[in-house]
Chains A and B, each alone.
Chain A
Amino acid sequence: MRFSIYRYDPESGAKPHMQDYEIEFDPSGKKVLDALIAIKEQLDESLAFRRSCREGVCGSDGLNINGVNRLACVTALEGLKEPICIRPLPRLAVIRDLIVDMGQFFQHYRAVKPYLVNLEPEPENERLQAPEERAELDGLYECILCGCCTTACPSFWWNPDKFLGPAALLQAYRFIADSRDQATDERLDYLEDPYRLFRCHGIMSCVEVCPKGLNPTAAIGRIKALLVKRAL
């Protein structure tokens, strides 16, 4: 199989470049991560990439594969056009090869206060939540923070420091939607800003790439609707 992979090591003094690899590899049933590991083990151990769970849960191997952001570990090799072109996630600073600096991404995540706020005294047992209320969290809590959506978003490319991006906004809505959370007003206050939320123009790249099948655009739409409702 043929691959073309983005290489950059700041220590080498060389400029970033694409490097071609050819490896004997039976793609049937295998994922892109399997091929990356084979290349690293057999051809070039200096190729650097993150990986851990190899089953789409840890979110560490988000990459741009043939032009689309996706997780290497769940992307089947079969059906990908060769040479398979693998680059780091777009718009983030590259530390080395396929490894990007996720600092900004997590800063935005922290900024939406991604934790339950409930100031009432804790009950002896669980707080009750009806199955319908809990169902509101489906499609939100499954996010693995891989960054595929945010780095696929043109609004984020344009204002990476000011626009929170789809992943952080999805999590902002995850707590707004939680019947146990009491900070909806504060959360909406923070989001009511020309950049943080309103740079989303509904391009829906995030929905297209999310490896978990989540829909950040819909969540952002619901936040906008709540802001409108509040203003009336």
Chain B
Amino acid sequence: MSAQGGITAALGNVSEDDWHWHMYDTVKGSDYLGDQDAIEFMCRNAPSAVYELEHMGLPFSRLDNGKIYQRPFGGQSQNFGGEQAVRTCAAADRTGHALLHTLYQRNIAARTQFFDEFYALDLIRDQDGYVLGVSAMEIETGRPWLFESRVTLLATGGGARIFRHSTNAHINSGDGLGMALRAGLPLEDMEFWQFHPTGIPEIGSLITEGVRGEGGYLLNKDNERFMPRYAPHAQDLASRDVVSRAIAQEILAGRGCGPHGDFVYLKVDHIGADTIKERLPGIRELSMQFAGVDPCEAPIPVTPTAHYMMGGIPTNLHGQVVAPERYGPEEGVPGLYAVGECACVSVHGANRLGGNSLLDLVVFGRAAGNHAIEYLRDNPIPRKLPADASDLAAGRLARWDRPTGGERVPALRAEMQRILQEHCGVYRREDLLKAGIEKLNGVEARLADAVIDDHSQVFNTARLEALELENLLPIARATLVSALARTESRGAHSREDYPDRDDDHWLRHTLYSLANDQLDYKPVRLKPLTVETFQPKARTY
């Protein structure tokens, strides 16, 4: 919901555009790890998804001719790698906020029943693998609930709170991923986390790529505009992984700014105070509040910050969760869907392009809804809940009712976040990752003895944080184990010890399962639905 910059679709309102070009950019941006059928599906459907949002009332900014305003974003090109395209549709720099409220408003119109402030604990699955609903806790009363449902859709967001420095909200604890893992389902491509180049140091708040789209650029301590050295063509609007690595290199080379040389500057005042106030009002507000800087007058301090999880619960084009089960490498899990950041369909592959995440969630959200309607028609009779439907959840709740006198949840969470930050950041290395797993083993062992003092049933937020940590830890584990296994550098996964992309061995997705840290693999789907394959080639900007 904090998404600022916008939602990408080849509308061609500002410059000539074509969804094929959007598809090419997305495949290239993914460092060829994205599944090309899913990417084609998303990019083809992007314009109609954006128009649908507009019809719902989303207050997009407008061009003089009344059409939706679009701005240039990183990794966008015309004509398959040509000039910069202008493709990201925006409502000033509050697109995510506007999108969230528009969808909420449509739900009010549709009289959707919300169970606000209920916390989902676990999936209910029967012996045949059908998902029959979820167990949950009503936060206000602490009462446990069972939601029996023929269809369950997870839209639980990402889990970048495994890192110490994250742009994510406190609630991004990846709860849906923890639920999936405990239900025996795998997580795909968990080694791929996007470090956004421009987060406010220490605080983590995001400064949108739209700042660079509107003409902003990065400076090191020598006041040098350094991006042209790393990406001669796209410069400051190269893909996010490229820009983050460039900033990290500048900092490592001693060209960072500030007393500790641990950030760089994002300069935007030259585009003029009026443009900033019209196009980037939210950024100005954030920058003044959290960096103490008015971008109309001075550059904003920024540093790469954990932002987005490219991996997640594996899904197909219908948003249906898929898993390697009895009959082969990939099979739908009946009754279970996942969309948005918690899902991995995979359209982002090894690196997501800015503006593609809002697109991913509306395109596949709609596809999942349509498929769920069919599923409900084909499965009219509810299946019987298994006798042990509530056992897992009841056990998790009871565990935190234990008497006091052990280790604290916040301390363990902070330690996990430090481990991930230090051992699995922008650059990774075998010895670092192995040491990270060792340390995480220790934290997990200590979690078994952790306690909370607060045993009230009423809005017990200490217990919520404990339950969230139970989801964050296995996500952290999946990340380290998958990152250790992938002995190549691709997109956001940069291995110092394996600096090159290795298409012979690693043009495949990882699938992490909780039991014994098992890793399975599945090939990247290189064949699109209707167009020619974009063959992997060297990726330069």
Contact = CB atoms under 8 A, between A and B. Distances in A.
Contacts of A45: 408-410, 452-454, 462
B462 A55 contact: no
Contacts of B454: 45-46
A56 B169 contact: no
Contacts of A40: 410, 461-462
A122 B55 CA distance: 7
A46 B459 contact: no
A121 to B, nearest CB: 10
A115 B456 contact: no
B169 A58 contact: yes
Contacts of B453: 45-46
Interface string A130-141: 110110010001
A115 B2 contact: no
Interface in B457-475: 457-462
Contact of B67 (A49, A55, A116, A126): A126
A29 to B, nearest CB: 7
Interface stretch (A5-13, A153-161, A193-201, A219-227): A5-13
A75 to B, nearest CB: 9
Contact of B205 (A55, A95, A122): A55
Nearest to A28: B292
A207 interface: no
A170 to B, nearest CB: 12
Nearest to A47: B461
Contact of B64 (A57, A131, A144): A131
A202 interface: no
Given A131-B64, A142-B94, A114 B105 contact: yes
Contacts of B408: 41, 45
B46 to A, nearest CB: 13
Interface residues of B, number: 52
B252 interface: no
Interface in B96-112: 97-98, 101, 105-106, 108-109
Contacts of A144: 97
Nearest to A41: B410
B169 A52 contact: yes
- Give chain A's interface secondary structure class: loop
A181 B108 CA distance: 16
A109 B57 CA distance: 17
A11 B273 CA distance: 53
A41 B169 CA distance: 18
A127 B54 contact: yes
Contacts of A77: none
Interface string B53-95: 0111101111111111000000000000000000000010010
Interface residues on A, range: 35 or more
Contacts of B59: 134, 137, 141, 178
Interface centre among A40, A46, A76, A113 (most CB of B within 10 A): A46
A29 B290 CA distance: 7
B408 to A, nearest CB: 8
A141 B98 contact: yes
Interface string B30-62: 000000000000000001001100111101111
A9 B47 CA distance: 50
Contacts of B63: 131
A54 interface: yes
B140 interface: yes
A116 B57 contact: yes
Given A116-B56, A130-B62, A53 B98 contact: no
Contacts of B98: 141
A18 B372 CA distance: 50
A55 B55 contact: no
Nearest to A144: B97
B534 to A, nearest CB: 28
A68 interface: no
A128 interface: yes
A110 B114 CA distance: 13
Given A56-B289, A57-B1, A126-B54, A46 B456 contact: yes
Nearest to A213: B285
Contacts of A187: none
A131 B64 CA distance: 6
The 5 closest A-B pairs by CB, nearest first: A116-B57, A128-B66, A115-B105, A41-B410, A46-B454
10 contacts: A41-B410, A53-B2, A110-B108, A114-B108, A124-B51, A126-B55, A134-B62, A141-B59, A142-B94, A181-B57
Interface of B: 1-2, 11, 47, 50-51, 54-57, 59-68, 91, 94, 97-98, 101, 105-106, 108-109, 140, 169-171, 205, 285-286, 289-290, 292, 408-410, 452-454, 456-462
